[in-house]
C-alpha cells in the first residue's frame, strides 16, 4: 500500500510538457499580434512622417494652403486636404445619418419580418460592394447627374464624393443602430403602450432615446469609415489643390492626396515624408473616432445589461 501510493503520488507530479508550453507561448504571441501590428503601423508612420517637419513647421503643415512638393524648397501645407476631408465627411454624415437611422428604426421597430428579411441582405450587399466599384458609379453615373443638377463646370466635386461616401457608410450605421434599438428592453415599449402611446410615439420618445448612445456610436463608426475611404474620393472628388469653400467645388481629401502623390514621391524624400505625415494625422483621427465610438457603445451595452 505504502509503496503503491508512493508510486502513484510520484506519477501525479507535474510533468514538463514541452510542446504544450511551446504552443501556449506561440498562441500568446499571436494574441499580442493585434497590438504589435497597430504599434507597428504607428511606429512606421512616426518614423517616416515626423522627418517631414524638418522642412515644414507644424504650423505651416497644418494651416498652410500651398502644397508644392517638387518646388525648391518644397512647401507642404495640407489645409486644403484637411478642409476637403472635413467637407466630404460632414456632408456624407449629414446625408447618411437620417437615412441610416430612419432605415434602422423602420427595420427594428416597424417593418414586418418579411420586409426585414429582404432589406437586411441588401444592406449587407451594399457593404460588400468594393469601394472601387462605388468610385466608378460616382465617376460615370452620379457626377454627370450632379453636374447637371447644380449646373457645374464639372460633376467631379466634393458633393458627388460625399453622396457616394454616404452610401458607403450606410451599412455600418444601419446595422449598429438597429442592434442598439433592439437592445432596448421590451418592457419599456410595453410600459409606453400601456400609457396609451402610439407606436410612433413609443419609437420616438422611448426607443430612440434609449438607443441614443448606440446610434451615436453608429454615426461615429460611419464617420470613421468616411474619413478613411480612399478610392471613391480619389476618383470623384475632383482633385483640386485649392482650399474648398463650397461642397460643389472639386477638392482633394487627405486620403486622395496620399494615393495620388505616393506613386511619384521619391522614396525617403520630402514629399514621401509629408505624405506619411498626412497618413499619421489620418491614423490619429480615425483612431480617436473609433476609440470614442467604442466607449460610447460599451456604455450603451451596460445600460440595459443586468
Partner 1 sequence: MAALTISRRELTQRTAFSLLVLATAIVTVPVLFIIIYIVVNGAGALSWEFLTQAPSQAGKAGGIFPAIVGTFYLMLGTIIFSLPVGVLAGIYLTEYARANWLTRLINMAILNLAGVPSIVYGLFGLGLFVLAMKFGMSLLAASLTLACQALAMTITTSREAVIAVPREYREGSLAIGTTKWQTIRHVILPQALPGVITGAILAMSRAAGETAPILVVGAAFILPGLPTSPFDQFMALPYHLYTAAAHVPGMSKVTIWGIALVLLVVVLSFNSLAVFIRIRVRQRRFGS
Partner 2 sequence: MNMNHALLNNRAAHNNETKLKTEQVSLFYGTFQALRNISLDIREKAITAIIGPSGCGKSSFLRLFNRMNDLIIGARVDGRVVIDDTNIYDRDIDVVELRKRVGMVFQKPNPFPMSVLENVAFGPRRHGKKNRHELEGIVERSLRQAALWDEVKDKLGQSALALSGGQQQRLCIARVLAVEPEVILMDEPCSALDPIATLRIEDLMRSLSSDYTIVIVTHNMQQAARVSDMAAFLMMEKDRAGILVEYGPTSQIFTNPQDKRTEDYITGRFG
Interface positions, 107-166, toward partner 1 (CB under 8 A): 107, 110-111, 119, 121-126, 128-133, 135-137, 139-141
Which residue lies nearer to partner 1 by CB, 70 or 129?
Answer: 129
| CA distance to 107, 110, 111, 187, per residue, from 199 (Å) | 14, 8, 12, 14
> Apex CA 102: angle with CA 193 and CA 120, to 5°?
100
- Minimum distance, C-beta of residue 245 to partner 1, in the bound complex (Å): 25
Contact 78, 257 (CB under 8 A): yes
30 binds, among partner 1, partner 2, none (CB under 5 to 8 A by kind): partner 1
Count of CB atoms within 10 A of residue 44's CB?
13
- Minimum distance, C-beta of residue 218 to partner 1, in the bound complex (Å): 14
Which residue lies nearer to partner 1 by CB, 3 or 305?
Answer: 305
Which residue lies nearer to partner 2 by CB, 6 or 36?
Answer: 6
- Minimum distance, C-beta of residue 135 to partner 1, in the bound complex (Å): 7
The backbone torsions φ and ψ at residue 233, rounded to the nearest 5 degrees and listed phi first, read: -70, -30
Binders of partner 1 among 51-90, rule CB under 8 A? none
Among 198, 205, 209, 299, contact with partner 1 (rule: CB under 8 A): 198
- Minimum distance, C-beta of residue 52 to partner 1, in the bound complex (Å): 13
- Minimum distance, C-beta of residue 2 to partner 1, in the bound complex (Å): 25
Among 6, 7, 37, 185, contact with partner 1 (rule: CB under 8 A): 37
- Give me the residues that bind partner 2 (CB under 8 A), please: 1-2, 4-6, 8-9, 11-15, 17
| Residues 176, 224: Cα–Cα separation, whole Å | 14
Which residue lies nearer to partner 2 by CB, 8 or 54?
Answer: 8
Q: Which stretch binds partner 1 (CB under 8 A): 28-36, 86-94, 210-218, 241-249?
A: 28-36
| CA distance to 58, 280, 283, per residue, from 43 (Å) | 19, 10, 11
Q: Which stretch binds partner 1 (CB under 8 A): 1-9, 56-64, 94-102, 146-154?
A: 94-102
| Residues 191, 199: Cα–Cα separation, whole Å | 12
| Residues 71, 270: Cα–Cα separation, whole Å | 11
Phi-psi region of 239 (alpha: psi -120 to 50; beta: other; left: phi over 0): left
Which residue lies nearer to partner 1 by CB, 141 or 246?
Answer: 141
169: nearest Cα among 256, 94, 239, 86: 94
Residue span 275-304 as binding mask against partner 1, x where in contact by CB under 8 A, dash where not: xx--x--xx--xx-xxx--x----------
Among 53, 106, 150, 193, contact with partner 1 (rule: CB under 8 A): 106
34 binds, among partner 2, partner 1, none (CB under 5 to 8 A by kind): partner 1
Residue span 237-266 as binding mask against partner 1, x where in contact by CB under 8 A, dash where not: ------------------x--xx--xx---
Contact 237, 160 (CB under 8 A): yes
Contact 258, 278 (CB under 8 A): yes
Contact 131, 168 (CB under 8 A): yes
**What are 76's strand-pairing partners?**
67
- Minimum distance, C-beta of residue 151 to partner 1, in the bound complex (Å): 23
Q: Between 79-105 and 158-182, two packed helices, what is the crossing angle to 10 degrees?
A: 40
Amino acid at each position: 500500500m505504502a509503496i503503491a501510493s508512493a508510486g502513484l503520488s510520484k506519477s501525479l507530479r507535474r510533468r514538463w510538457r514541452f510542446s504544450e508550453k511551446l504552443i501556449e507561448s506561440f498562441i500568446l504571441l499571436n494574441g499580442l499580434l493585434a497590438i504589435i501590428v497597430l504599434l507597428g503601423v504607428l511606429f512606421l508612420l512616426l518614423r517616416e512622417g515626423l522627418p517631414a517637419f524638418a522642412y515644414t513647421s507644424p504650423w505651416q503643415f497644418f494651416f498652410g494652403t500651398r502644397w508644392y512638393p517638387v518646388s525648391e524648397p518644397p512647401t507642404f501645407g495640407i489645409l486644403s486636404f484637411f478642409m476637403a476631408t472635413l467637407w466630404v465627411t460632414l456632408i456624407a454624415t449629414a446625408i447618411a445619418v437620417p437615412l441610416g437611422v430612419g432605415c434602422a428604426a423602420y427595420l427594428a421597430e416597424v417593418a414586418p419580418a418579411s420586409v426585414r428579411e429582404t432589406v437586411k441582405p441588401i444592406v449587407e450587399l451594399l457593404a460588400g460592394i468594393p469601394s472601387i466599384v462605388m468610385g466608378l458609379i460616382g465617376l460615370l453615373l452620379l457626377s454627370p447627374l450632379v453636374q447637371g443638377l447644380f449646373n457645374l463646370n464639372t460633376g467631379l466635386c466634393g458633393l458627388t464624393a460625399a453622396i457616394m461616401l454616404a452610401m458607403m457608410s450606410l451599412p455600418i450605421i444601419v446595422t449598429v443602430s438597429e442592434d442598439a434599438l433592439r437592445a432596448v428592453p421590451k418592457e419599456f415599449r410595453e410600459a409606453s403602450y400601456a400609457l396609451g402611446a402610439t407606436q410612433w410615439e413609443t419609437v420616438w420618445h422611448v426607443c430612440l432615446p434609449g438607443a441614443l448612445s448606440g446610434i451615436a456610436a453608429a454615426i461615429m463608426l460611419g464617420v470613421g469609415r468616411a474619413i478613411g475611404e480612399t478610392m471613391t474620393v480619389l476618383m470623384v472628388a475632383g482633385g483640386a489643390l485649392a482650399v474648398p469653400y463650397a461642397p460643389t467645388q472639386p477638392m482633394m481629401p487627405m486620403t486622395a492626396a496620399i494615393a495620388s502623390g505616393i506613386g511619384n514621391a521619391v522614396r525617403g524624400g520630402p514629399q514621401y515624408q509629408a505624405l506619411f505625415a498626412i497618413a499619421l494625422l489620418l491614423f490619429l483621427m480615425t483612431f480617436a473616432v473609433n476609440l470614442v465610438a467604442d466607449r460610447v457603445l460599451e456604455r450603451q451595452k451596460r445600460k440595459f445589461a443586468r
